[in-house]
Chains A and B, each alone.
Chain A
Amino acid sequence: MSYVLEINNLRTYFFTLRGVVRAVDGVSLKLRKGETLGIVGESGCGKSTLAWSMMKLVPPPGRIVSGSIKIDGIDITRMSESEIRRKIRWRKISMIFQGAMNALNPVYKVGEQIIEPLIIHGKMEKEKALSIAANLVKAVGLPEEILERYPHELSGGQKQRIVIAMAMAMEPDIIIADEPTTALDVVVQAQILNLMKKLHRERGISFILITHDLGVVTELSERIAVMYAGKIVEYASADEIFEKPLHPYTQALIRAVPRLKGDIHKLEYIPGTPPDLRRPPPGCRFYPRCPRRFEPCDKEEPPLQEVEKDHWVACWLHIRR
């Protein structure tokens, strides 16, 4: 089985004046070609840092401390910046950054912004780049004329489509989408998610969808990784995560979301707050808030183990020793 992405024991820390923040602290996951992955977690769990690590764009004072990230079998953590620019970034893996639609340059036409990477990275003539840009905007469901517009003339949904088109420009295998619909209204959100579905099906793009919204993640993801305090606590198919969640955190998260259909159950919440990632608790990081903690939890950290086929969980309740 070939993996398009293989992350092994990745650690990305931020070296701040007030201490070392262990934003991503030993994450491992594998993604098969053409699969879509959802990474869910609450604010501060490290999901965006994980995404930046995969692009090797962790902003200082953060850096990848250890571990490996293999894209198509090549470990990008050992590559030089110029090599990554030439071979990996935008070509193999690209990213839709959170809030990117508000980062479009207001003084350039949309078309000029889309062709920039094609000219710089793809070494193309302007005319050829423009014809590719025209195809790209059509692929994301916009009229060609939009290339002549400025960002302020576009609606939020249109801007987000442009950002997706830009991520697709160099035909990468993987596109990371960090909260791609968070600032959008539900109708526009549904349109954007439909578009991403279509691109996945028709072009085989592997999306990695990073979100805090359990509803949004089910729209696209075949596999789901649940993150808590810098670690993946559960990693399985979307069906298993929702029908048979094993980690108490995953279970609690699912029961905390109100539904639009069916009976109304009393919502549950998780008491307490996530730990300070400068001083994470010993043992399992969820232990202080866990309703099912028992003897080994505060002493030893549970590893992420495959407890059933393709179902990984990091919890002493399920780990076989």
Chain B
Amino acid sequence: MSIYQIELGEEILRVEDLKVWFPVRKGLLDAILGKPKLYVKAVDGISFNMREREIFCLVGESGCGKTTTGKSLLRLVPITSGKALFKPRKETLEKLERLGVTPSDGGWVDIFTLPEKKFKPIRRDVQMIYQDPYGSLNPRFKIKDILEEPLLVHGIGGSKEERMELIMKTLERVKLTPASDFVDRYPHQLSGGQRQRVAIARAIISNPRLVVADEPVSMLDVSIRAEILEVLLNLRKELGMSYLFITHDLAIARYICDRIAVMYLGKIVELGDAREVIAEPLHPYTKALIAAIPDPDPKNRIGYRYLPIKGEVPNAINIPPGCRFHPRCVVYEEAVKKGTVLKDLCSRKEPPLADVGNGRKVACWLHEAVRKAAGVE
């Protein structure tokens, strides 16, 4: 259990079979020859849900689709198919109803199908923190202008004074104190950690329900990372928002997340309680990922690190058939050597992400629950 774990609220997000495929531009010759259209399948059918105050983590290597998933919730990438049912705050729902949107029972709206104009109220409820605090803040804006912009866009705070008051309060929330020292400064006058806190303040000033945090500490120095993580944790406690936390660092995921989903080539291969998944990974890919991470321990230099994985990540255009991990899987390799039935399954049929008990899900034919869910024996 995380030392920061708190009680979670109702369900607020249900992503169902999300696909984000980017078309690859064809050459003229390919077009004349009528070759089939190719896609980079960045996200290729993932489902998960999130609860209020939950920190849900997407982990995986670069190119696995974790950032694309996060961006899709803000509609920053074109969605190929799938649903993202979101439960906005009451005020947002009222606004949506005035715009002629009828939420389904329980107040759910599908983020992906709303027309752009009617999506704007949701933008207040779903915010994003980017990885790079040097690139995500406008260098020509003072801190107060950066923080005032979302207020003006969403019509929060009636007068200039009210808005300034909110800006000061938010700066204090992210521990940029005294706030009056910061409002008139420009981003270049701040350190990396301070900038990232401004980026956090900008995301939370509209009091969102869901914040997509894309690698929020990976560009920061080790000595200040913990401070930023603490700010994020305190904000969830005080304001009750949920984070979709995107990271490649499993140690950070273990430290602050409630649940994690491990992604590989656009699919979730394993999902469950963060501490349990890391202590006892079920999917061969998760096992390899954990085996590869150098935990700071001087004994590491004594032996070679054993890596239960082969080859390299394939191209997201030509995803291997069957289980997309099988060409790199050491368990599959073993099965081929021994000639067990498993080998036919892995190379031909894609395993579903099936429940194996205790809220744990895994997509690997090794597990009986997965075979049962797919109706194979």
Spell out A's residues near B (CB within 8 Å): 36, 42-43, 155, 157, 185-191, 193-194, 197-198, 212-222, 237-239, 241-243, 252-254, 256-261, 264-271, 273
Most buried by A among B298, B309, B312: B298
Bound state CA distance, A214 and B295, in angstroms? 8
Give 1 or 0 for each of B37-63: 1 = CB within 8 Å of chain A CB. 000000000000000000000000110
A-B contact pairs, 17 of them (CB 8 A): A187-B307, A189-B292, A193-B294, A198-B304, A212-B222, A217-B296, A218-B298, A219-B300, A221-B301, A252-B223, A256-B226, A258-B226, A264-B255, A264-B275, A267-B225, A269-B224, A269-B230
Q: Which 10 A-B pairs have the closest CB atoms?
A: A215-B294, A267-B226, A238-B298, A269-B226, A185-B61, A190-B292, A269-B227, A258-B255, A42-B221, A270-B223
In chain B, positions 278-325 with a C-beta closer than 8 Å to chain A are: 278, 288-301, 304-305, 307, 309, 312-313
Bound state CA distance, A187 and B312, in angstroms? 9
Q: Is B191 an interface residue when CB atoms closer than 8 A count as contact?
A: yes
Residues in A whose Cβ lies below 8 Å from that of B313: 185
Q: Is B6 an interface residue when CB atoms closer than 8 A count as contact?
A: no
Residues in B whose Cβ lies below 8 Å from that of A221: 301
Q: Are B307 and A273 in contact (CB under 8 A)?
A: no
Residues in A whose Cβ lies below 8 Å from that of B291: 190
Q: A190-B305, A258-B255 are in contact. List 10 more A-B contacts (CB 8 A).
A: A186-B289, A187-B289, A189-B292, A190-B291, A218-B300, A219-B300, A237-B298, A258-B251, A260-B251, A264-B3
Q: Are B225 and A269 in contact (CB under 8 A)?
A: yes
Q: Please, which residue of chain A has its CB at the minimum distance from the CB of B298? A: A238
Bound state CA distance, A45 and B221, in angstroms? 11
Bound state CA distance, A85 and B305, in angstroms? 37
Q: Are A186 and B61 in contact (CB under 8 A)?
A: yes
Closest-CB distance, A273 to chain B (whole angstroms): 5
A222: which of B3, B294, B301, B312 is its contact (CB, 8 Å)? B301
In chain B, positions 138-177 with a C-beta closer than 8 Å to chain A are: none
Q: A186-B293, A187-B288, A221-B301 are in contact. Are A260 and B254 (CB under 8 A)?
A: yes
Residues in B whose Cβ lies below 8 Å from that of A257: 222, 251, 296
Residues in B whose Cβ lies below 8 Å from that of A271: 227
Q: Are B229 and A214 in contact (CB under 8 A)?
A: no
Q: Is B71 an interface residue when CB atoms closer than 8 A count as contact?
A: no
Bound state CA distance, A98 and B297, in angstroms? 24
Most buried by B among A186, A213, A265: A186
Q: Are B254 and A258 in contact (CB under 8 A)?
A: yes
Closest-CB distance, B219 to chain A (whole angstroms): 9
Residues in A whose Cβ lies below 8 Å from that of B2: 264
Bound state CA distance, A269 and B221, in angstroms? 10
Q: A157-B312, A238-B301 are in contact. Are A42 and B295 (CB under 8 A)?
A: no
Q: Are A186 and B292 in contact (CB under 8 A)?
A: yes
Q: Is B248 an interface residue when CB atoms closer than 8 A count as contact?
A: yes
**Interface SS of chain B:** helix
Q: A42-B223, A185-B248, A260-B250 are in contact. Are A267 and B61 (CB under 8 A)?
A: no
Residues in B whose Cβ lies below 8 Å from that of A42: 221-223
Residues in B whose Cβ lies below 8 Å from that of A189: 292, 294
Q: Is B252 an interface residue when CB atoms closer than 8 A count as contact?
A: yes
Closest-CB distance, A39 to chain B (whole angstroms): 15
Residues in B whose Cβ lies below 8 Å from that of A191: 307
Closest-CB distance, B191 to chain A (whole angstroms): 5
Residues in A whose Cβ lies below 8 Å from that of B121: none
Q: Please, which residue of chain B has its CB at the minimum distance from the CB of A263? A: B3
Q: Is B193 an interface residue when CB atoms closer than 8 A count as contact?
A: yes
Q: Are B251 and A259 in contact (CB under 8 A)?
A: yes
Bound state CA distance, A221 and B301, in angstroms? 7
Residues in A whose Cβ lies below 8 Å from that of B62: 185
Residues in A whose Cβ lies below 8 Å from that of B298: 218, 237-239, 241-243
B293: which of A36, A217, A260, A273 is its contact (CB, 8 Å)? A260
B193: which of A193, A220, A267, A273 is its contact (CB, 8 Å)? A273
Bound state CA distance, A252 and B227, in angstroms? 13
A270: which of B224, B290, B292 is its contact (CB, 8 Å)? B224
Closest-CB distance, B325 to chain A (whole angstroms): 12
Q: A186-B289, A212-B222, A273-B191 are in contact. Are A259 and B296 (CB under 8 A)?
A: yes
Closest-CB distance, A172 to chain B (whole angstroms): 21
Bound state CA distance, A198 and B304, in angstroms? 8
Residues in B whose Cβ lies below 8 Å from that of A265: 3
Q: Are A261 and B295 in contact (CB under 8 A)?
A: yes
Q: Are B301 and A155 in contact (CB under 8 A)?
A: no
Bound state CA distance, A238 and B297, in angstroms? 9
Q: Please, which residue of chain B has its CB at the minimum distance from the CB of A185? A: B61
Bound state CA distance, A149 and B292, in angstroms? 28
Q: Please, which residue of chain B has its CB at the minimum distance from the CB of A222? A: B301
Q: A186-B248, A187-B288, A260-B278 are in contact. Are A269 and B297 (CB under 8 A)?
A: no
Q: Are A253 and B307 in contact (CB under 8 A)?
A: no
Closest-CB distance, A239 to chain B (whole angstroms): 5
Q: Are A212 and B221 in contact (CB under 8 A)?
A: yes
In chain B, positions 45-97 with a C-beta closer than 8 Å to chain A are: 61-62
Residues in B whose Cβ lies below 8 Å from that of A212: 221-222
Bound state CA distance, A155 and B248, in angstroms? 19
Bound state CA distance, A237 and B312, in angstroms? 35
